[in-house]
Amino acid sequence: MLTPELKSELTTILGAEYVCDDMESCISYSYDATPLYQAIPDGIVFPKNTEEIQRILRLAHQHHIPIIGRGSGTNLAADTVPTQGGIVMVMTRLNQIIEIDTDNLTITVQPGVLTQTIHNAVEAKQLFYPPDPSSMKISTIGGNIAEGSGGLRGLKYGTTRDYVLGLEAVLANGEVIRTGGKLYKDVAGYDLTRLLVGSEGTLAIITEATLKLIPLPETRRAMVAHYADLDTAARAVSAIISARIIPCTLEFMDQGTIQVVEDYAQIGLPRDMAAILLIEQDGPHLLVEQDITKLHQICLDSGATHIEVAQTSADGTQLMAARRNALSALARLRPTLILEDITVPRSQIAPMVRSITEISRRYDLTICTFGHAGDGNLHPTILTDARNSEEITRVEKALADMFATAIRLGGTITGEHGVGLAKAPFLEWKVGRTGIVALQGIKNALDPTGILNPGKIFTQVPTEQEGTKK
Amino acid sequence: MLTPELKSELTTILGAEYVCDDMESCISYSYDATPLYQAIPDGIVFPKNTEEIQRILRLAHQHHIPIIGRGSGTNLAADTVPTQGGIVMVMTRLNQIIEIDTDNLTITVQPGVLTQTIHNAVEAKQLFYPPDPSSMKISTIGGNIAEGSGGLRGLKYGTTRDYVLGLEAVLANGEVIRTGGKLYKDVAGYDLTRLLVGSEGTLAIITEATLKLIPLPETRRAMVAHYADLDTAARAVSAIISARIIPCTLEFMDQGTIQVVEDYAQIGLPRDMAAILLIEQDGPHLLVEQDITKLHQICLDSGATHIEVAQTSADGTQLMAARRNALSALARLRPTLILEDITVPRSQIAPMVRSITEISRRYDLTICTFGHAGDGNLHPTILTDARNSEEITRVEKALADMFATAIRLGGTITGEHGVGLAKAPFLEWKVGRTGIVALQGIKNALDPTGILNPGKIFTQVPTEQEGTKK
């Protein structure tokens, strides 16, 4: 509940309609897409413009009230769970596309615009915004920017980070900064744009973004290749890159995932196979044909037992839908699904997947693994039950072992989902003590009173790494 | 001169051979490629590894001695001029390519490796490191990273920033941080990698970098188009982008530059033309042919008076050499050449170039303009004489007017050269007071005693903006 004074001040700024602190609303904003995490906020606000956000932040800064920025709440690291109470600031009313600039190939948007809405708007003008997080139908661009979201096309096109040219943001003290612009080159000062991308709401509230667009590829074609064992599939990935082909997507699914997706979608996936690769190439017609022919040959040479090439771009979309449905399919099996997000150098995919299999046996857990083989970003997904505390203890041990293995293989604890609350205890494993001190210094410089999304990224109690490296 | 105690301590770390404070050496490291700036350091050190750099920084941190990291000194913002004395740390002995990883498409290098050496090494393996700053034959990769260097291929391929995947760096207190890795996706903590790229030696000393590579394009073709007036050339640039073609280079030269380059290189450039566009496309054979045909038609339709397409890739290299020679050609004309680096949104190139012409008349100066039309990054180049203080006063006014115009058009004061000493008084025009406070907060967090390249980026005396916006 908000204090009457605070509620009155917020109501003056926003109007009564856009300030809530009833229990139903507070419960609705007490969680996000991350299982196992929940905390009740004091209230929720729905600002409609930068000026309102400035006024709210000045108030919060003055009274040391936590502010948790939130779009659609699709994140998977408990980044929008108000773990220290405070006010959840929902950005969905800032939902305008401000401009599509076809001369400069940019789109300028408010943070509450849905990612899919951006795709549709620019594709109508034969332009392309490549980042495609799996949640893009419901995620907001502000959330994508705050999390540094990736997607299936990261290998060829990069991630959200690579498409943000400029930002307007409100700092903790209520002041507005503007970074970058419609500029492909700008080295005036440190790269604040990219510092804010992936800062998970802990450094500023993003209120506007200018994104880079590229020409829409003429066409796309997809194919699927079946593998009887994991190493053969991993060798195929290496062989594709060695042939100097960069597909727009190069996705991997293990046997567990194949079986579950096939149960759910019934699209003819091979239940008896150890792994499948879903490969898609886009670009000019001529080139896509050429690459698909080469990819077919490489998959054949690398020992695929079956290869199917989509005959049309629509068939391809259906094929790729298998991958995009993986999460929904897996979610049906058990009450709780924990979707992990480790990344390793591409050459380390086979050792990483083997290690995940070992870990699932060690802790007697069901772990299905799928992900972006092209960029080494794997999503081992643990099917469990939050109500079974004994099992959850095993899950936590398994996660720690996975993170330790990823780091030992030259990887990271999160490729595209963020650190949030869920991985804060493990951040030091990746960046080291010196890195934590540097990151905290930046946090303190920009948010000295610590009101922006407190408790996220950093933890008071880092998890000990000893004994977990296997 | 170094104090005897400091010299003795440095000699213990490095050996006598790699510590200098004789006047000849101090003068040699008192300037870089930027005219009008010079300052004598107390001494120069040549470390050979990270450990030596850590020991030097601990010493400097303890005694509050400025440390100025330096590669080849090709920068154009006086970034390596030791304006507050101290020790110039020359990185050229860290000159090893540590690994080219063809599975993960990365190269790991020490900072003293020349940019051209990286190009040659990876192209031998049919791989490609796209950033191509004009100084690449002599610049070091460490300098490129510190400055966030661009180049001719920025429009299609991005700049240095887009290719740095991981860094090892020594902080002001002597501690080592490692960021990123052989990872295309990594959102574990704020993006320290990109914070260090373009930080101009003010946040850390970079000791190792892992860079992203892509497949080497099969071929490249170049063409040149002549224009009798500026607007026609600018419209051609817009028409190319509207046709959804992104050439790998799209360079612009004004009449002044054309005449000077032709005097120097005698390659048949048209002295009577208002502007030329130098266009190059790379990629698969089929596609390059297709694009060059389309580009030819677009240039014709947009009113080019003459178009010449290079018949071979070697002819194209010669054509592009005209652009790469521009600076050397211009440098012959008068004692001092001031190469500016403003960037505007691509659609604002014609207004910007017109404004530069007006500014040159207003202050009775010779300004030749060339640059990267594709990404809006222009290099207006003032031919002057540093010994003529009256003329230099006019030059300074002209620069201030150019920066104000660029910002008014949505641009920036530096696209690829950096802020350094030269543009520190103007940084606030771009980022605002709130931006300066944020940047200084980050600087203070990472370098609390201010020993790393002091006096750079920030200034005690910002230039007043009033009266300069015309």
List the structure tokens of B103: 């599975």
> pLDDT tens digits, residue range B345-388?
999 999 999 999 999 999 999 999 999 999 999 999 999 999 99
Could you tell me the end-to-end alpha-carbon distance of chain A, in angstroms, rounded to an integer? 46
Q: Identify whether residues B321 and B348 lie together within a single domain.
A: no
Q: Identify whether residues A200 and A289 lie together within a single domain.
A: no
Cα–Cα nearest to A138, from A33, A250, A280, A278: A33
Q: Compare A468 and B115 and report the one with higher pLDDT.
A: B115
The residue of chain B with its CA nearest to that of A203 is B190
Kindly list the residues from chain A whose CB atom is less than 8 angstroms away from the CB atom of residue B155. Answer: 184
pLDDT of residue A466: 54
The total of other beta-carbon atoms located within 10 Å of residue A271's CB is: 11
- Which residue in A187, A246, A435 is closest to B177 by CB distance? A435
Give the separation between CA A250 and CA A235, rounded to whole angstroms: 13
Q: What pLDDT band is residue A326 in, cutting at 50, 70 and 90?
A: confident
Kindly list the residues from chain B whose CB atom is less than 8 angstroms away from the CB atom of residue A346. Answer: 103-104, 182
Judged on CB neighbours under 10 Å (0-12, 13-18, 19+), A254 is: buried
Asked if B215 lies within 8 A of A244 by C-beta distance, the reply is yes
Å from B263 to nearest chain A CA? Answer: 31
Asked if A415 lies within 8 A of B245 by C-beta distance, the reply is no
Strand, helix or coil for residue A464: coil
Is the Cβ–Cβ distance between B77 and B414 less than 8 Å?
Answer: yes
Alpha helices for B15-85 (secondary structure H): 23-28, 50-63
Mean pLDDT value of segment A33-38? 93
Structural domain includes residue A254: yes
**pLDDT over 60 (residue A85):** yes
Mean pLDDT value of segment A142-166? 96
Kindly list the residues from chain A whose CB atom is less than 8 angstroms away from the CB atom of residue B147. Answer: 187
Cα–Cα nearest to B244, from B284, B295, B304: B295
Q: Identify whether residues B176 and B77 lie together within a single domain.
A: no
Structural domain includes residue B301: yes
Asked if B148 lies within 8 A of A214 by C-beta distance, the reply is no
The residue of chain A with its CA nearest to that of B185 is A415
- Best mutation target among A190, A372, A409 (most B Cβ atoms within 10 Å) is A190
Strand, helix or coil for residue A280: strand
Å from A115 to nearest chain B CA? Answer: 19
Is the Cβ–Cβ distance between B451 and B64 less than 8 Å?
Answer: yes
Structural domain includes residue B422: no
Strands B249-254 and B275-283, sheet pairing = antiparallel
List the structure tokens of A130: 């490549």
Asked if B188 lies within 8 A of A241 by C-beta distance, the reply is no
Give the separation between CA B280 and CA B283, rounded to whole angstroms: 10
Strands A87-90 and A67-70, sheet pairing = parallel
Å from A340 to nearest chain B CA? Answer: 13
Judged on CB neighbours under 10 Å (0-12, 13-18, 19+), B314 is: exposed
Phi, then psi, of B260 in degrees rounded to 5:
-70, -40
The CATH number of the domain where B56 resides is what? 3.30.43.10
**pLDDT over 60 (residue A130):** yes
Asked if B185 lies within 8 A of A242 by C-beta distance, the reply is no
Kindly list the residues from chain A whose CB atom is less than 8 angstroms away from the CB atom of residue B238. Answer: 103
DSSP labels, B184-199: S---SSS-HHHHHTT-
Q: Identify whether residues B203 and B225 lie together within a single domain.
A: no
**pLDDT over 50 (residue B31):** yes
Percent of chain A residues past pLDDT 90, beyond the cut: 87
Asked if A191 lies within 8 A of B195 by C-beta distance, the reply is yes
List the structure tokens of B433: 């007071």
List the structure tokens of B28: 């040699």
**pLDDT over 70 (residue A467):** no
Phi, then psi, of B8 in degrees rounded to 5:
-65, -40
Strand partners, A88: A44, A68
Is the Cβ–Cβ distance between B385 and B335 less than 8 Å?
Answer: yes
Mean pLDDT value of segment B410-437? 97
Q: What length is written for chain A?
A: 470
**pLDDT over 70 (residue B213):** yes
Structural domain includes residue B464: no
pLDDT of residue B316: 80
Q: Identify whether residues A58 and A144 lie together within a single domain.
A: yes
Kindly list the residues from chain B whose CB atom is less than 8 angstroms away from the CB atom of residue A186. Answer: 343, 412, 414-415
- Which residue in B214, B215, B347 is closest to A103 by CB distance? B347
DSSP percent split of chain B into helix, strand, coil, nearest 5: 40, 20, 40
- Which residue in A189, A216, A347 is closest to B427 by CB distance? A189
The total of other beta-carbon atoms located within 10 Å of residue A334's CB is: 15
**pLDDT over 50 (residue B468):** no
Kindly list the residues from chain A whose CB atom is less than 8 angstroms away from the CB atom of residue B184. Answer: 154-155, 158-159, 343, 375-377
Structural domain includes residue A233: yes
Asked if B189 lies within 8 A of A457 by C-beta distance, the reply is yes
DSSP B333: T
Give the separation between CA B444 and CA A91, rounded to whole angstroms: 32
Å from B406 to nearest chain A CA? Answer: 11
Asked if A347 lies within 8 A of B103 by C-beta distance, the reply is yes
Is the Cβ–Cβ distance between B134 and B341 less than 8 Å?
Answer: no
Phi, then psi, of A165 in degrees rounded to 5:
-95, -30
Q: What pLDDT band is residue B467 in, cutting at 50, 70 and 90?
A: very low
User: How many independent structural domains does chain A possess?
Assistant: 3
Q: Identify whether residues B209 and B233 lie together within a single domain.
A: no
Kindly list the residues from chain B whose CB atom is less than 8 angstroms away from the CB atom of residue A345. Answer: 101, 103-104, 181-183
- Best mutation target among B175, B186, B203, B446 (most A Cβ atoms within 10 Å) is B186
Mean pLDDT value of segment A175-179? 98
- Which residue in A155, A171, A183 is closest to B412 by CB distance? A183
> pLDDT tens digits, residue range B142-201?
999 999 999 999 999 999 999 999 999 999 999 999 999 999 999 999 999 999 999 999
Task: Among A417, A439, A454, give the residue marking a domain's end.
Answer: A417
The residue of chain B with its CA nearest to that of A199 is B190
Asked if A410 lies within 8 A of B182 by C-beta distance, the reply is yes
Kindly list the residues from chain B whose CB atom is less than 8 angstroms away from the CB atom of residue A216. Answer: 244
pLDDT of residue A126: 96
Å from B3 to nearest chain A CA? Answer: 31
**pLDDT over 50 (residue A468):** no
pLDDT of residue A323: 77
Structural domain includes residue B424: no
- Which residue in A184, A187, A446 is closest to B155 by CB distance? A184
Q: Identify whether residues B384 and B359 lie together within a single domain.
A: yes
Which positions ≥6 away from A141 have C-beta within 8 Å? Answer: A71, A109, A111, A112, A113, A114, A115, A118, A209, A211
Token pair 């034959």 in the structure block, residue: B137
The total of other beta-carbon atoms located within 10 Å of residue A268's CB is: 11
The CATH number of the domain where B113 resides is what? 3.30.465.10
Q: Identify whether residues A72 and A41 lie together within a single domain.
A: yes
DSSP labels, B232-294: HHHHHHHHHHHTT---SEEEEEEHHHHHHHHHHH-S---TT-SEEEEEEEEESHHHHHHHHHH
**pLDDT over 60 (residue B469):** no
The residue of chain A with its CA nearest to that of B147 is A187
Asked if B412 lies within 8 A of A104 by C-beta distance, the reply is no
Q: What pLDDT band is residue B470 in, cutting at 50, 70 and 90?
A: very low
Judged on CB neighbours under 10 Å (0-12, 13-18, 19+), A331 is: middle
- Which residue in A171, A183, A190 is closest to B434 by CB distance? A171
Asked if A195 lies within 8 A of B190 by C-beta distance, the reply is yes
Domain of B194, in residue numbers = 102-215
The CATH number of the domain where B250 resides is what? 3.30.70.3450
Give the count of alpha carbons within 13 A of B142, CB side only.
29
The residue of chain B with its CA nearest to that of A217 is B244
The CATH number of the domain where A347 resides is what? 3.30.70.2740
Structural domain includes residue A198: yes
ipTM of the complex: 0.96
- Which residue in A171, A246, A416 is closest to B214 by CB distance? A246
Task: Among B266, B294, B329, give the residue marking a domain's end.
Answer: B329
The residue of chain B with its CA nearest to that of A175 is B434
Å from B320 to nearest chain A CA? Answer: 21
Give the separation between CA A336 and CA A357, rounded to whole angstroms: 19
Kindly list the residues from chain A whose CB atom is less than 8 angstroms away from the CB atom of residue B411. Answer: 181, 183
Å from B200 to nearest chain A CA? Answer: 9
Give the separation between CA A150 and CA B335, rounded to whole angstroms: 51
List the structure tokens of B336: 């001092």
Mean pLDDT value of segment A345-352? 93
Q: Identify whether residues A212 and A246 lie together within a single domain.
A: no
Sign of the C-alpha dihedral computed for residues B388, B394, B398 and B404 taken in this order: positive
Give the separation between CA A442 and CA A446, rounded to whole angstroms: 6
Chain A / chain B CB contacts < 8 angstroms: 269
Å from A426 to nearest chain B CA? Answer: 9
Asked if A434 lies within 8 A of B175 by C-beta distance, the reply is yes
Give the separation between CA B351 and CA B256, rounded to whole angstroms: 17
pLDDT of residue A469: 40
Strand partners, A105: none
Strand partners, A45: A19, A89
- Best mutation target among A187, A235, A409, A458 (most B Cβ atoms within 10 Å) is A187
Asked if B187 lies within 8 A of A414 by C-beta distance, the reply is yes
The residue of chain A with its CA nearest to that of B186 is A415
Average pLDDT, chain B: 94
Asked if B105 lies within 8 A of A241 by C-beta distance, the reply is yes
> pLDDT tens digits, residue range A88-118?
999 999 999 999 999 999 999 999 999 999 9
**pLDDT over 80 (residue B129):** yes
Is the Cβ–Cβ distance between A55 and A47 less than 8 Å?
Answer: no
Q: At what angle do helices B230-242 and B285-301 cross, to 10 degrees?
A: 140
Q: Identify whether residues A138 and A278 lie together within a single domain.
A: no
Q: What's the order of all strands across the beta sheet hosting A67-70?
A: A19-20, A43-45, A87-90, A67-70
Is the Cβ–Cβ distance between A381 and A398 less than 8 Å?
Answer: no
Mean pLDDT value of segment A138-144? 98
Q: Identify whether residues B354 and B410 lie together within a single domain.
A: yes
Mean pLDDT value of segment B41-49? 98
Å from A24 to nearest chain B CA? Answer: 33
- Best mutation target among A184, A244, A407 (most B Cβ atoms within 10 Å) is A184
**pLDDT over 80 (residue B55):** yes
Which positions ≥6 away from B28 have C-beta within 8 Å? Answer: B44
Cα–Cα nearest to A180, from B456, B144, B154, B412: B412
Structural domain includes residue A423: no
Is the Cβ–Cβ distance between B345 and A182 less than 8 Å?
Answer: yes
Alpha helices for A174-222 (secondary structure H): 192-196
DSSP B452: B
Q: Identify whether residues B115 and B209 lie together within a single domain.
A: yes
The residue of chain A with its CA nearest to that of B157 is A184
CA angle B399, B401, B406 (to 5 degrees): 95
CA distances from A181 to A208, B239, B355, B411 (A): 11, 22, 20, 7
Give the separation between CA B251 and CA B280, rounded to whole angstroms: 9
pLDDT of residue B136: 95
Kindly list the residues from chain A whose CB atom is less than 8 angstroms away from the CB atom of residue B242. Answer: 102-103
Task: Among A182, A216, A250, give the residue marking a domain's end.
Answer: A216
Mean pLDDT value of segment A322-350? 89
